[in-house]
Structure 1
Amino acid sequence: MATRGGSTVVSFLTVLPLAVVMIAGPQILSAIFLATSEGWQRNSGVFVLGAALSISLVVAATFFLGVGATGQGLSGGTLNVIILVLLLIAMVRTFLGRGQSEPPKWMGRLQAATPQFSFRLGFLLLGFFPTDIITSVTVGSYLAAHDFPLTDAIPFVLVTLVLLASPSLGMVVLGERAEAILPKIRDWMNTNSWIVSEVVILFFVASILNGLLG
């Protein structure tokens, strides 16, 4: 049983890197497109809101399922193995998709996106995109397996949302200069996002293996 004072620091440092995995790929690309679209303030806002709802739902559902499973005899070590398998699946999916340098066709709709479309996109993309649902399930399962409270997922959710909102925040701070900078960032992320994802997932895999072997 982890103490409340120690659990916040440990779980925060463990789940925080996964926030990068959550937004690497079409997630941050969508945020950049929306930040340069008509009505970008409203579209970006509801996009992040939709993401906040879906991420929180998936993490909470997995957490409570994990708590129930542990209470019925599924050990924390077994849950760690499940988490490790999920992370390895995420690594394989990321590697296999590394050559997909072109944005999905539906991104063409983002320049003329409506608030309703932006909200649905944020909810579905951050909640049910394969890599993201694996990541959120990993966070919820990890907290349950280590007896950490669900509130320790708050830093993970908040940092994910801040990163997701960074293009629109850039528009607020930089104004027209951001319109020239954001496409360059979009192109770089489109080319290198899989490498960023692999490095962060590998970090978490190492952390889980250290716990299992230790």
Structure 2
Amino acid sequence: MNLQILPLAITMMMGPQIISAIILVTTGRPVRDSVAFLAGVALAASVGVTITRGIFSLLGHGVSLGDPSQRGSVGTVIQFGLVILLLGAAVKNYVRRETVEPPKWLSALMEAGPGKAFATGFLVILLMPSDIVVLLTVGANLEQNKASVVAALPFIGATVLIAALPLLALLLFHRRAATAMPRVREWANSHSWVINVVTCLIFVLLIL
């Protein structure tokens, strides 16, 4: 796997994903719920990479994705196609910024238990359009480099680490984090369109 793919873990957790992690550290049992959330994220990232690697492996039997260094290779063209989709999403979020609201299920996380926290971590990775694009990019990269899913472990680990940042902040800074996190949560909820646009642009910069 190319090292340029590793930073894509940042975009995996941008948006409702990181907001979910922040909300869970403001619940009554933040450590328990956050650990369950991280387990869901880890499993989803592993499953997602395995699925997309398999898809491009099957595709590679009929169409050669080419060498990663070849700008005109099929694999590179696919990645640039994904970049175009993300740019379109960024423009859409900016145009609709006045009406964009956070998903209603985010507020329900305040009452989440371990089961719901785990399910949330699993689903926000596998069902979010931006994460699907990232996972497809990782799968294409693995196929181009003829690498197995094992090569994606650093990417999966980085994704989980970023998801764990709110919990790590709570454990390290205790009262300060407990005071700051609700304010961060409120800002993220009211500026979700900013997070979505930044996510798309980071993705584009990392690929290009």
Equivalent residue number for residue 76 of structure 2: 80
Equivalent residue number for residue 156 of structure 2: 157
Distance 1:101 1:34 in 2: 22
Offset at residue 189 of structure 1 (A): 4.3
Question: What is the one-letter code of the residue matched to 2:41?
Answer: A
* Aligned equivalent of 1:19, options 9, 31, 48: 9
Distance 2:174 2:91 in 1: 36
Listed one character per residue, the Cα deviations across residues 127-185 of structure 1 (whole Å, up to 9, x for unaligned) are: 11111111111111111122233222111111111111111111111112102222343
Equivalent residue number for residue 47 of structure 1: 37
Q: Is the 8 A contact 1:140 1:153 kept in 2?
A: no
Runs of at least 5 residues in structure 2 that lack an aligned partner in the other structure: 67-72
Identify the range of structure 1 (42-51 vs 60-69) with the bigger mean alpha-carbon deviation: 60-69
Distance 2:63 2:134 in 1: 24
Distance 1:91 1:152 in 2: 28
Q: Is the 8 A contact 1:87 1:135 kept in 2?
A: no
Question: What is the one-letter code of the residue matched to 1:79?
Answer: G
Offset at residue 47 of structure 1 (A): 0.8
Offset at residue 198 of structure 1 (A): 3.0
Cα distance change of structure 1 residues 74 and 93 upon mapping to structure 2, 3 Å threshold: same
Equivalent residue number for residue 91 of structure 2: 95
Equivalent residue number for residue 210 of structure 1: none
Equivalent residue number for residue 69 of structure 2: none
Offset at residue 17 of structure 1 (A): 1.9
Higher fraction of helix: 1
Distance 2:127 2:100 in 1: 21
Equivalent residue number for residue 59 of structure 2: 69
Distance 1:187 1:108 in 2: 11
Distance 1:185 1:95 in 2: 25
Question: What is the one-letter code of the residue matched to 1:196?
Answer: V
Distance 2:91 2:32 in 1: 34
* Aligned equivalent of 1:201, options 171, 195, 203: 203
Equivalent residue number for residue 182 of structure 1: 181
Distance 1:72 1:198 in 2: 31
Cα distance change of structure 1 residues 65 and 195 upon mapping to structure 2, 3 Å threshold: closer
The number of equivalent residue pairs is: 196
Runs of at least 5 residues in structure 1 that lack an aligned partner in the other structure: 1-6, 207-214
Offset at residue 194 of structure 1 (A): 2.8
Distance 2:138 2:63 in 1: 20
SS of aligned partner of 1:147 = coil
Q: Is the 8 A contact 1:52 1:161 kept in 2?
A: yes
Distance 1:88 1:189 in 2: 25
Offset at residue 83 of structure 1 (A): 2.1
Distance 2:19 2:113 in 1: 17
Q: Is the 8 A contact 2:90 2:201 kept in 1?
A: no
Distance 1:75 1:106 in 2: 39
Equivalent residue number for residue 106 of structure 2: 107
Distance 1:205 1:47 in 2: 28
